[in-house]
């Protein structure tokens, strides 16, 4: 019996059947002995930003810095500054997270950040973790390196994995340009400002013999000695050695071409909102980041990386970096190290996402196509054929549907807002009961369809914030007026009090979904067979086929506001079905045809039994 089979056998002994489906006799088990054996699609991931989760140690709120918020970055009343959440707070809430059914933590970047940056009047803090200066140590706002080790060890002791959010595309904004100090610098292209001339094609010759960044060899890049081809970069004296490792302080390892427009060439070579854009074509940079992030695997035994701003880095970098990380993890005894990149295409175009698995050779990307399809159909009025179109695109990923099962799926995140925000925006006149049903239905799709479900912290407590800062609410008692004025889903509480309520209807609904997914291999590993999709809101049905047993689990959802009664195709060999969630008929109406009845904005999960 495999370790995973032992887990399922253990689960079977603790389950009872109710009218609502499968429920455990106790808390969702952790199976600490074999967490390394789980595949990516076996996980339920809980994503959080440490600063906004829980504050267990107020002594680190200002990171040991003295002064006002412009120095310390700490202002718990402002959504753009540090609020005090830390790694010790995360450790003490592991019971809460595991009770939700999460088996893996995706932790926002924990590296030391530039505490505050931005022009006067436009300053904010690096509470989110994406303005890194020191890639080798934990930011003291969050605690210490030992605190991070304690977190990983505590999670592993429970059988939970830890995925770390990492950044390679850029560092904090440290490098300045003499031509535009204190103001944005427009992007300057490689054609208008070639590497071989200072200040344009007519300028003095520099970097003799450099053959361009397409020739990515040590010998070629040794000739790129002057970084002043587009602008004249310099590092202020006070920050000359602020970055670690030390090589990151050298402007030669950055593109130095000004602000990205996020289109064309500038998407790869431009500064992301003023952040220093790393020259990832340079062999020394490739080698340097392999050393940096390989060391985090060696030191802490983490289980995966979520990679920020993946699409803004050249493919050759990923083609070298990913195999190196997988090799480093295997050497550490981590056979299923999960790497997934952020390709933030809010239109949800599968071709854009899949390209990075085929060309860049990333094992997986965040499934923005899934998120877009769910928002369009459950927080919108598009037909369920929009969901079918998303599934049709699975063939485009490197590895096809097998690869699609490893894509982290989500309905909310820290950049683009929470699902509840979009539901309310689309249906401003409906009551709160309907909004709650729509949020539950969106999550049901995430837990029952292919992919790796990712719950963004606060969704299970009814948070409903919009994009960027608006959706980065505090889980511990907040002092931000806009957060505390937010109308939460499924509760009359506000974010002014701690939001760790296991009796919240969304927490309970997601926990049931997680337990069902844990108990049913077809929902994790099953092939997806589309059974029905329509041009209007209403029925969407997919069968998940267990590759080991052939067992069929039919998932049917109703995205409309009218009841649905329909016949849905199933395998003609099945003679019985069992309800895993909702009301399911005990037998097909005829061989290959199964009746489903769905209330508005509801779902059922029905599992085949005996075969004829």
* 6 CB burial (10 A radius; 0-12, 13-18, 19+): middle
Token pair 């019971």 is at which residue?
95
Does an H or E element contain 555, and which? Answer: strand 552-558
Determine the number of helices (DSSP H) and then strands (DSSP E) in the chain: 18, 24
Q: In which region does residue 286 sit, left (phi positive, over 0), alpha (psi from -120 to 50) or beta (all else)?
A: alpha
Say how far apart CA 86 and CA 83 lie, in whole Å: 9
333: its two tokens: 């005894």
Say how far apart CA 26 and CA 35 lie, in whole Å: 20
529: its two tokens: 């067979």
Say how far apart CA 525 and CA 449 lie, in whole Å: 10
Say how far apart CA 602 and CA 393 lie, in whole Å: 25
21: its two tokens: 């489906």
Cα 333–chain centre separation: 24
Backbone phi, psi, residue 343, to 5°? -115, 90
Say how far apart CA 519 and CA 553 lie, in whole Å: 12
Q: Tell me, what DSSP letter sits at residue 246? A: G
Does an H or E element contain 100, and which? Answer: none
465-to-331, 474, 482 alpha-carbon distances in Å:
42, 11, 9
| Sign of the CA dihedral with 155 first, then 157, 161, and 163 last | positive
Q: HEC profile for 175-234?
A: CEEHHHCCCCCCCCCCCCCCCCECCCCCCCECCCCCCCCCCCCHHHHCCCCCCCCCCCEE
Q: What percentage of the chain's residues is helix, strand, coil (to nearest 5)?
A: 35, 20, 45
DSSP, residue by residue, 54-78: --S-GGGTTTT--SSHHHH-B-TTS
**Residues with a known catalytic role:** 308, 342
Q: In which region does residue 374 sit, left (phi positive, over 0), alpha (psi from -120 to 50) or beta (all else)?
A: alpha
Are residues 604 and 542 in contact, defined by beta-carbon separation less than 8 angstroms?
no
């Amino acid at each position: 019996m495999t370790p995973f089979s032992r887990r399922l056998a253990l689960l079977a002994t603790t389950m009872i059947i109710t009218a609502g489906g499968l429920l455990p006799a106790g808390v969702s088990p952790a199976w600490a002995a074999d967490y390394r054996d789980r595949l990516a699609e076996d996980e339920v991931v809980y994503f959080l930003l440490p600063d906004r989760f829980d504050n267990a140690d107020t002594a680190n709120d200002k990171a040991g810095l003295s002064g006002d918020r412009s120095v310390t970055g700490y202002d718990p009343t402002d959504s753009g500054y540090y609020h005090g959440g830390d790694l010790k707070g995360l450790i003490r809430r592991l019971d809460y997270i595991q009770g939700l059914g999460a088996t893996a933590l995706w932790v926002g970047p924990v590296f030391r950040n530039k505490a505050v940056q931005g022009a006067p009047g436009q300053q904010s803090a690096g509470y989110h973790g994406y303005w890194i200066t020191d890639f080798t140590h934990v930011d003291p706002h969050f605690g210490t390196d030992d605190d991070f080790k304690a977190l990983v060890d505590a999670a592993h002791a429970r059988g939970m994995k830890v995925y770390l959010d990492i950044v390679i595309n850029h560092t904090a904004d440290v490098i300045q340009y003499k031509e535009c100090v204190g103001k944005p610098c427009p992007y300057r292209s490689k054609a208008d400002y070639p590497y071989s001339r200072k200040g344009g094609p007519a300028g003095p010759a520099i970097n003799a013999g450099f053959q361009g960044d397409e020739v990515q060899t040590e010998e070629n890049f040794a000739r790129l000695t002057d970084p002043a081809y587009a602008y004249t970069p310099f590092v202020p004296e006070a920050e000359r050695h602020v970055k670690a490792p030390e090589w990151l302080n050298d402007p030669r390892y950055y593109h130095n071409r000004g602000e990205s427009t996020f289109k064309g060439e500038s998407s790869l070579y431009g500064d992301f909102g003023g952040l220093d854009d790393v020259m990832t074509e340079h062999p020394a940079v490739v080698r340097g980041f392999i050393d940096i992030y390989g060391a985090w695997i060696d030191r802490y035994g983490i289980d995966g990386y979520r990679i920020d701003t993946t699409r803004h880095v050249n493919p050759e970098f990923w083609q070298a970096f990913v195999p190196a990380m997988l090799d480093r993890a295997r050497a550490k005894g981590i056979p299923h190290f999960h790497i997934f990149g952020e390709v933030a295409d809010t239109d949800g175009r599968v071709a854009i996402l899949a390209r990075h698995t085929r060309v860049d050779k990333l094992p997986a990307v965040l499934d923005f196509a899934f998120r877009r399809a769910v928002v369009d159909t459950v927080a919108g009025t598009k037909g369920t054929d929009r969901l079918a179109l998303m599934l049709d695109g699975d063939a485009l990923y490197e590895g096809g549907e097998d690869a699609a099962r490893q894509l982290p799926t989500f309905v909310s995140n820290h950049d683009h807002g929470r699902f509840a925000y979009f539901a309310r925006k689309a249906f401003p006149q409906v009551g709160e009961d309907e909004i709650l049903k729509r949020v539950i239905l969106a999550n049901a799709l995430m837990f029952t369809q292919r992919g790796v479900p990712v719950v963004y912290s606060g969704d299970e407590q009814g948070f409903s914030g919009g994009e960027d800062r608006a959706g980065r609410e505090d889980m511990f008692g907040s002092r931000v007026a806009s957060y505390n004025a937010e109308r939460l889903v499924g509760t009359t509480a506000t974010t002014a009090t701690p939001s760790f309520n296991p009796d919240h209807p969304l927490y309970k609904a997601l926990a049931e979904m997680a337990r069902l997914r844990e108990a049913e291999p077809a929902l994790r590993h099953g092939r997806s067979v589309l059974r029905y999709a329509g041009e209007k809101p209403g029925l969407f049905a997919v069968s998940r086929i267990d590759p080991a047993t052939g067992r069929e689990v039919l998932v049917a959802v109703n995205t409309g506001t009218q009841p649905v009664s329909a016949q849905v195709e199933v395998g003609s060999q099945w003679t019985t079905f069992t309800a895993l969630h909702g009301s399911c008929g005990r037998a097909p109406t005829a061989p290959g045809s199964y009746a489903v009845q769905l209330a508005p904005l509801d779902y059922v999960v029905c599992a085949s039994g005996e075969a004829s």
